[in-house]
Amino acid sequence: MQEMSHRHSRELDIFYNEHKNCCTNCGRKFVNGMCAHLGYLPDQIPAVLCDDCAPLLSETVVRYHWMKDEYEKPAPTDKLWRYMDLGKFIHLISTGKLYFASADSFEDPFEGAKGIVERKEEWDSFYLDVLREAIRTVPGATQEMLAPDHIEKEAQKLLTELNQSGDGQRRHTFISCWHCNPFESEAMWKLYSVNTKNAVAIQTTAAHLYEALDRNPSVKIGKVKYVDFNKRFASINGAYWYKRKSFEHEREVRAVIIDHSTSTRGLSIPININSLIDCLFISPYAPKWFEEAIHSVVEKYELHIPVVHSDMTQRPFY
């Protein structure tokens, strides 16, 4: 088997993110546990190949045990909205950076939670069984390693480490939240702007958000799953894609970055504003002067984007 070069590049990581679900050569879909071979065909053409096609690679950069994403990706054309006060909007367009808040800074204490405290023993029991089985079946295990006392000791140790990693994950997971909806939302205007009279909403699509972030391979964009923690747990490696049913009205799509190199409460990631914003909506509660001010701000920062007043200002007849 060809040795791995580990010669990663940003372009190769982007290629993997965009083509990782099936073999580049034969089209075979990957399933959990399969080996995915990432590297280059002759003439430095990137490819991710299955075991059968792997000999075609002239260079194997890395091999993965393929795992399905923990999240569902939105459709490229899905409309995404970000409701904000004028101050946050000006900060966004003046800096050209999108803010990602650390999970432990959110008001919701369940950000990154695996479940509820009342079911913690059930969680521990399940993963102790998983860990015991993993230790029993480790390749090359000696008789000493397979002794029941040793297995139990190691399983308990690994469970403790697993439980202790939760807070660290919260500190190093950074999130930008978006509302997924074909239409603007009256509830979102009131929930996510302190002063609804001085608020705007960015409307984009999932594809444009991805492109505006320069197809950053470190950023994962996916839909939040809303679950009943009385009946199930969040995924062990994907807790940040789960929220409680009581938040289902948010219809959230989030962009997530894992970064262990920083201790800050947030990250500011460069973003192309003109590529991001398909349309800028002015709050339905805004006075006339605010609309004029928004047009002036957009002109000052040379943004080539349409600015419209909320559809909610339309008048009915009876």
Question: Which tens digit of pLDDT belongs to each residue from 219-229?
Answer: 999 999 999 99
Has residue 168 got a pLDDT over 90? Answer: no
Across the chain, the runs of DSSP E, i.e. the strands, are 35-41, 45-49, 59-65, 79-85, 97-102, 173-180, 199-205, 220-223, 225-227, 242-244, 252-258, 266-270, 279-282, 307-309
CA dist 47 and 19 (Å) reads 8
The answer to whether residue 38 sits within a structural domain is: yes
Instruction: Give the sign of the dihedral formed by CA 285, CA 309, CA 181, CA 213.
Output: negative
Domain residue limits at 24? 10-65
What tokens appear for 273 in the block? 């504003």
Tell me whether residue 70 is in a domain. Answer: no
Mean local confidence (pLDDT), 24-44: 96
Question: Do 277 and 235 belong to one domain?
Answer: yes
Q: Which of 250, 317, 309 is nearest to 284 (CA)?
A: 309
Q: Is residue 153 a part of any domain in this protein? A: yes
Cα distances from 180 to residues 5, 54, 96, 111, 198, in angstroms, run 40, 39, 22, 19, 22
Together in a domain, 175 and 225: yes
Please report which confidence band the pLDDT of residue 138 belongs to, taking 50, 70 and 90 as the band edges.
confident
Looking at the fold, whether 237 and 251 belong to one and the same domain comes out as: yes
Task: State whether 303 and 247 are in the same domain.
Answer: yes
Q: Residue 72 falls within a domain, yes or no? A: no
First to last CA, the chain: 75
Spatial separation of the C-alpha atoms in residues 47 and 7, rounded to whole Å: 14
Q: What confidence tens digit (pLDDT) does each residue in 238-292 have?
A: 999 999 999 999 999 999 999 999 888 899 999 999 999 999 999 999 999 999 9
> How deeply is 101 buried, as exposed, middle or buried, from its count of CB atoms within 10 A (0-12, 13-18, 19+)?
middle
| Residue 1 located in a structural domain | no
Answer yes or no: do 153 and 267 share one domain: no
Residue 113 confidence (pLDDT) above 90: yes
Is 163 in the same domain as 37? no
Statement to judge: residues 29 and 135 lie in one domain: no
Residue 274 lies in a domain: yes
195 and 266 assigned to the same domain: yes
Beta bridge partners of 150: none
Going by the DSSP 8-state scheme, the letter that residue 285 receives in this structure is T
Whether 3 maps to a domain, the answer reads no
What's 28's DSSP letter? Answer: P
Same domain, 257 and 205: yes
Look at residue 302 and give its three-state secondary structure. Answer: coil
CA distance 235 to 192: 28
CB 96 within 8 A of CB 212: no
Q: Look at residues 195, 196, 175 and name the one whose alpha carbon lies nearest to residue 185.
A: 196
Q: Are residues 216 and 106 in the same domain?
A: yes
Q: Is the pTM of this model over 0.75?
A: yes
